[in-house]
Amino acid sequence: MIRVALVDDHPVVRAGIRALVDGEDDLTVVGEASDAPSAEQLVAAVRPDVVLMDLNLGPGPGGAEVTAKLRRRADSPYVLILTTYDTEAAIMSAIDAGASGYLLKDAPSEDLFRAIRGTARGETVLAPTVAARLIRRTGPTLTEREVEILGLLATGKSNRDLAKTLYVSEATIKSHLQHIYTKLEVETRAAAVARAIEQRIIRAVS
């Protein structure tokens, strides 16, 4: 029997996933959590084989940060990300944090069951669109700081605003921007933001 813990800040989502998972003979949900503190307490208490982790947990630490903490435990469970976010930044933050798999919430239930079983066996399980995006990553890759700057650019911040927000000089910001322009093969701020959204490096600002 594969013991599964659910970490998601939406009770209705957790209820739906629990109903699906508990319907399988070899899978059982042993607990639920809605945020970082309750997730850590839950894992310590029930010691699941697999944690199904959302990336957006509302206020406080996100799923990637919680994943990193759980993976540092001596009795660390495997973590399978189950989320709606499919940007490159979100994917890489989760993988870098130690997640064993990354699945989107619109996946068929059979894909979810296969992903849980594969994760429990220690396999890396990626949604087809996620795997394709990782495979397509060619050429120079953006650093975490460059992705952060792109996200801020999308909100309309000036170089001075960026420097204040990131506690660096405007000269440093200009240097980062030149590297971003080169990597994305663009020449302007607007083009950089548009290309980053197109390539799902960042999300469009609503």
Look over the chain and give the mean of its residue pLDDT values, rounded to a whole number: 90
Whole-angstrom distance, CA of residue 119 vs CA of residue 101: 7
pTM of the model: 0.68
Which of 3.30.230.70, 3.30.1490.20, 3.40.50.150, 1.10.10.10 is the CATH number of 144-198?
1.10.10.10
The pLDDT score that the predictor gives to residue 74 is: 87
pLDDT at 206: 61
CATH of domain 2-135: 3.40.50.2300
Residue in the structure block whose two tokens are 């548009």: 194
Q: Can you give the pLDDT at residue 120? A: 94
- pLDDT number for residue 196: 86
What's the per-residue H, E or C state across 116-139?
A: HHHHHCCCCEECHHHHHHHHCCCC
Stretch(es) of the chain classified as CATH 3.40.50.2300: 2-135
Distance separating alpha carbons of residues 153 and 149, to the nearest angstrom: 6
User: Radius of gyration over alpha carbons of the chain, in Å?
Assistant: 19
Per-residue pLDDT of the chain (206 residues; tens, 9 = 90+): 999 999 999 999 999 999 999 999 999 999 999 999 999 999 999 999 999 999 999 888 999 999 999 999 888 999 999 999 888 788 888 988 999 999 999 999 999 999 999 999 988 888 877 776 665 664 567 888 898 899 899 888 999 999 999 999 999 999 999 999 998 888 889 889 988 888 778 877 76
